[in-house]
Structure 1
């Protein structure tokens, strides 16, 4: 810093006077503002965004209506999974717990409502990747093929672009990724044409509101079980084992 004067320093005077405190310097104001911006940016870049702490009760019908896809039998233990396609922590969660979730759904032991959020749009090169990926998942969900949806969901996180403002996957590329997992030509066209992006964005808004009600905050990845937040999501699959174990009792 080239400026040498310390905040609050006074110039010597010929006559005696009482000390007069100076106002905070503009330099300090900029520093504090910069720190605040860095803290917020760190939370968003990490894939987590807190927006309030008014914990309450989520509307189960709203959670069902705003989900991207619901898989698993109705009588199985229920979880709501909240993710942003560009969230690197969500990718870690998928790598750690995705196979176990898929196995539990396939075996009829778990019911999952997937919610695709999009607050990381601005971290993609086009400014809309999260929304387009959510739209792609919504297109695939229209086929009502559980195995296809779970394969595409996993492949989507496997191909996740960088979260640094440069990464991107075009809609035609998302369509080809879906096709490689078994999606129909009609679904591929739905993805290429961004037919379900608006619906996905509306669902993301509702899902975010309901997550905030239940958890007091909006963050990804998040899981609700019977409407309550689940802890330890990045500590392996112990959180899921506990839910499945409780379902047996």
Structure 2
């Protein structure tokens, strides 16, 4: 090989090495930029999760419940004397997992708003599910809730949600519902209640409340929360947003 050829080959090798090094440097810069961007994304996501976890955090309830009573249509009204507005309506199905989540997240906020005299809360349980065994579970729970006295209804309501069976599983047996009611701090007992639960004596009213929710309330899913007739379900899942909506309405 001549000297000229050797020199040319050496120059070509050097040029190739420089090209490869430049390519490696470019890749490092790109990976660095991606890494930095990923770090920013992680921070942003972390902040978002932190903020939203705090916004969605369930609140404690302080004090005594506002008086509760049963209206003629079967709904339960929770409000201080003289408070007639704004009206918060909670359309719910005891078998509905999202309803249980709403109760877990904002149940205490509903109670506090009523106890502070800031809203009249109206619970409207009904049977949304139509497939077995969800329909039967929902029916038994709604019937038992209608059998319970209005002045001791809210603790029973909360207990039913606490014992909600998984979707697709048979649950809310009459014997369990009767046992749970008897185990409350202020027990619900007696032959009248037991016979009402076992005999499904409120089934016609369950149907009437279901018809009201679907036809009059125009409810398409559960839970549905309305404030003076306006759907605020999304706000209801965030306690701070729920309180703001009620304050704005008031």
Q: Which residue of 2 aligns with 1:175?
A: 178
Counterpart-to-counterpart distance in 1, 2:156 and 2:227: 24
Decide whether aligned partners of structure 1 residues 115 and 71 sit closer, same or farther in structure 2, where only a CA change above 3 A counts.
Answer: same
Q: Which has the higher contact order (CA 8 A, sep 6+)?
A: 1
- Provide TM-score, normalisation by structure 2: 0.63
Residue 103 of structure 1, CA deviation: 2.2
Separation in 2 of the partners of 1:82 and 1:67? Answer: 12
> 1: distance between equivalents of 2:239 and 2:213?
24
**SS in structure 1 at match of 2:217:** helix
Among candidates 124, 139, 143, match of residue 131 of structure 1:
139
Query: 3-state SS of the aligned residue for 2:122?
Result: strand
Q: Which residue of 2 aligns with 1:72?
A: 79
Give the Cα–Cα distance (whole angstroms) in 1 for the partners of residues 133 and 85 of structure 2: 37
Structure 1 residue 229 corresponds to structure 2 residue 238: no
Distance in 2, Cα, partners of 1:120 & 1:102:
26
Q: Cα offset for 1:195?
A: 1.2
| 1:184 and 2:189 matched | yes
- Greater shift after overlay, 105-114 or 130-139? 105-114
Partner-residue secondary structure (3-state), 1:183? coil
Contact 2:73-2:209 at 8 Å conserved across structures: yes
Which residue of structure 2 aligns with residue 7 of structure 1?
none
- The DSSP-based 3-state class of the residue aligned with 2:171 is coil
Q: What are structure 2's unaligned runs of at least 5 residues? A: 1-70
In 2: Cα distance, 1:86 partner to 1:134 partner: 9
Q: Describe how 1:103-142 pairs up with structure 2 within 5 A.
A: 103-124=112-133, 127-140=135-148
What TM-score, normalized to structure 1? 0.63
Q: In the TM superposition, what is the alpha-carbon distance from 1:203 to its structure 2 partner?
A: 1.4
1:52-67 → structure 2 map (5 Å cutoff): 66-67=73-74
Secondary structure at 1:232's aligned position in 2?
A: helix
Deviation at 1:97, TM superposition (A): 0.5
Q: Structure 1 segments of 4 or more deviating over 3 A? A: 64-67
- Does 2:208 match 1:195? no
How many Å apart are 1:106 and its aligned residue? 2.7
Q: What's the Cα RMSD here?
A: 2.2
* Deviation readout 1:215-242 (Å, 9 max, x if unpaired): xx51101111111111424642133211
Match of 2:215 in 1: 209
Residues 66 and 239 from structure 1, CA distance in 2 versus in 1: closer, same or farther, beyond 3 angstroms? farther
Query: What is the CA deviation profile of residues 195-229 of structure 1, one whole-angstrom value per residue up to 9, with x for unaligned ones?
Result: 112211221112211221xxxx5110111111111
In the TM superposition, residue 69 of structure 1 has moved relative to its aligned partner by 1.4
Contact 1:81/1:223 (<8 A) preserved? yes
CA distance in 1 between counterparts of 2:72 and 2:212 reads: 9
Which of these two proteins has the greater Rg computed from alpha carbons?
A: 2
